[in-house]
């Protein structure tokens, strides 16, 4: 099977079609709320800080949710957990649409929807490995990521237009509909599967982080996104710095997702799995280097080109997905994916916040340069660590968590393969 046939093969799996459709509907609903809720809060408070907090609350509660809800991912069947998360989000957003809802309650409800996202993403990612096998799993994960980036490219602009004809609460009704439709598709279109054996997974998070191989892979998963979001967080001040205006802000925000979508489609469709895996370390190690060009404070066209090129480096995720799932014991996958999702969103929020703080003391373009330089050093350290543990694994050393979690002394990688995920 060629890689291109593999993309078609993914959609030939009936259950994946339902899961993917549910993902798209909840994703679109999330994009609408991501824009409409800050507008609603600002209308009620006239406070830029309160409006900005609605964005921050999309990231911060995810770390807590990932830590507290990770055991749920393996103790309960996946389908009810996914449907339950969608219903929690639908009810929370529905409460936001009630006229007169205080702004503080709006923020609390936003935090609730963010709190359950790592659980949803982790369970979905683990379940995806049961729906798709071999290379189709990697390509299925790729499609999940591509759709998320495509929503970022088109969704924010479309929601801005939507708010010209609908009040914010009216737009939030569409978010409720998206979550409810997603819940229905998952309930009736996906199979019910038993949870992981609870006795075999006690202390699972400790077992994950006790394994050097998994720690190295998580570092490589988290570090590039932590730094690559810095230009997105500084899009408005950098656009002002170069005189590009509001149009420049939108284009700067879209550039890296465009590069990411194009590269992931090309790598997934044109390259064989072995080639994709060989590209993981080179792509990850160089993806932040283009940021150094911001030292010359490039104008809008060159800045867009630099960000587009940087976005292409994120295609390293295709090969990394395979490595991560090979390293994690089957009974710990749901927990591992919940931890990965929570960590990913947390480091992105921290990266944006750190970039914003740094921009209080130095020009935005120099903050982006610093992100490129410091980020490259950090990622290269992770690359060295991953290279070392892969050499050890190839030499025949058994990965630790399987023996610790399984209790039977079994060793070796689990077949199959890391949001937006099943």
pLDDT tens per residue, range 134-188: 778 878 888 888 888 787 777 766 776 777 788 888 889 999 999 999 999 999 9
Task: State residue 293's pLDDT score.
Answer: 95
CB 58 within 8 A of CB 104: no
Reduced to 3 states (helix: H, G, I; strand: E, B; else coil), residue 159 is helix
The pair of structure tokens assigned to 124 is 């979905």
Domain of residue 199, residue span? 3-406
Q: Contact at 8 Å (CB) between 187 and 83?
A: yes
- pLDDT of 105 reads 92
Higher pLDDT, 207 or 77: 77
> For residue 173, what pLDDT is reported?
92
For residues 36 and 169, what is the distance between their CA atoms, to the nearest angstrom? 8
In a domain, 59, yes or no: yes
When pLDDT is cut at 50, 70 and 90, the band that residue 396 belongs to is low
411 within some domain: no
Kindly indicate the confidence band of residue 421, based on its pLDDT and cuts at 50, 70 and 90: very low
Say how far apart CA 72 and CA 119 lie, in whole Å.
Answer: 8
Among 370, 422, 332, 385, which Cα is nearest to 220's?
385
Cα–Cα distance for residue pair 335/114, rounded to 1 Å: 17
Classify residue 419: in a domain, yes or no. no
Mean pLDDT of all residues in the chain?
A: 80
CA distance 211 to 327: 9
Q: Do 210 and 96 form a contact (C-beta atoms < 8 A)?
A: no
pLDDT at site 394: 60
243 inside domain: yes
Q: Determine the length of the chain.
A: 422
Burial of 265 from C-beta contacts in 10 A (0-12 / 13-18 / 19+): middle
pLDDT tens digits for range 236-245: 788 888 888 7
State the pTM of this model: 0.74
Neighbours of 338 (CB within 10 A): 30
Query: pLDDT, tens digit, for every residue of 27-58?
Result: 888 888 877 887 788 788 776 666 656 766 77
Beta carbons of 151 and 27 less than 8 angstroms apart? yes
The CATH number given to whatever domain includes residue 357 is 1.20.1250.20
pLDDT tens per residue, range 332-364: 777 777 778 778 888 887 888 788 888 888 898
Number of folded domains in the chain?
1
Residue at 414 is within a domain: no
d(CA 199, CA 153): 44
First to last CA, the chain: 23
Q: Is residue 100 part of a domain?
A: yes
Please report, to the nearest 10 degrees, the dihedral formed by the alpha carbons of residues 321, 323, 324, 328 taken in order: 140
Q: Which residues of 108-138 are buried (b: 16+ CB within 10 A; e: fewer)?
A: ebbbbbbbbbbbbbbbbbbbbbbbbeebbbb
The answer to which of 195-199, 305-309, 341-345 has the lowest mean pLDDT is 195-199
In this structure, is residue 122 part of a structural domain? yes
Cβ pair 128, 76 in contact under 8 A: no
- Residue 29 covered by a domain: yes
């Amino acid at each position: 099977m060629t890689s291109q046939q593999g993309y078609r093969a993914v959609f030939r799996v009936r259950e994946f079609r339902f899961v993917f459709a549910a993902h798209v509907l909840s994703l679109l609903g999330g994009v609408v709320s991501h824009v409409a809720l800050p507008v609603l809060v600002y209308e009620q408070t006239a406070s830029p800080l309160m409006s900005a907090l609605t964005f921050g609350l999309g990231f911060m509660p995810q770390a807590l949710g990932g830590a507290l809800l990770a055991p749920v991912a393996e103790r309960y069947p996946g389908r009810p957990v996914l449907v339950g998360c969608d219903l929690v989000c639908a009810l929370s957003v529905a409460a936001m649409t009630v006229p007169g809802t205080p702004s503080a309650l709006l923020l609390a409800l936003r935090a609730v929807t963010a709190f359950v996202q790592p659980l949803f993403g982790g369970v979905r990612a683990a379940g995806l490995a049961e729906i798709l096998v071999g290379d189709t799993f990697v390509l299925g994960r790729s499609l999940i990521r591509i759709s998320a980036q495509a929503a970022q490219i088109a969704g924010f602009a479309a929601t801005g237009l939507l708010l010209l004809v609908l009040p914010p609460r009216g737009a939030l009704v569409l978010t409720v509909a998206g979550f409810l439709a997603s819940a229905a598709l998952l309930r009736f279109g996906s199979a019910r599967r038993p949870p992981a054996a609870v006795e075999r997974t006690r202390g699972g998070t400790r077992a994950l982080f006790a394994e050097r191989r998994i720690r190295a892979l998580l570092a490589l998963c988290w570090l590039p996104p932590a730094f690559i979001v810095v230009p997105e967080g500084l899009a408005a001040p950098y656009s002002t710095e170069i005189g590009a205006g509001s149009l420049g802000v939108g284009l700067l925000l879209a550039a890296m997702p465009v590069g990411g979508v194009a590269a992931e489609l090309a790598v997934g469709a044109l390259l064989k799995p072995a080639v994709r895996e060989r590209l993981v370390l080179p792509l990850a190690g160089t993806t932040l280097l283009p940021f150094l060009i911001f030292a010359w404070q490039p104008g809008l066209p060159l800045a867009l080109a630099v960000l587009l090129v940087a976005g292409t480096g994120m295609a390293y995720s295709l090969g990394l997905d395979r490595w991560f799932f090979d390293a994690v014991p089957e009974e710990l996958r749901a927990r591992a994916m919940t931890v990965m999702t929570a960590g990913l969103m947390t480091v992105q929020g921290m990266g944006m916040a750190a970039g914003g703080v740094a921009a209080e003391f130095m020009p935005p373009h120099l903050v982006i340069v610093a992100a490129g330089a410091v980020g490259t050093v950090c990622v290269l350290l992770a690359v060295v660590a991953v290279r070392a543990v892969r050499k050890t694994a190839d030499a025949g050393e058994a990965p630790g968590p399987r023996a610790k979690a399984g209790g039977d002394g079994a060793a070796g990688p689990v077949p199959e393969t890391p949001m937006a995920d099943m």
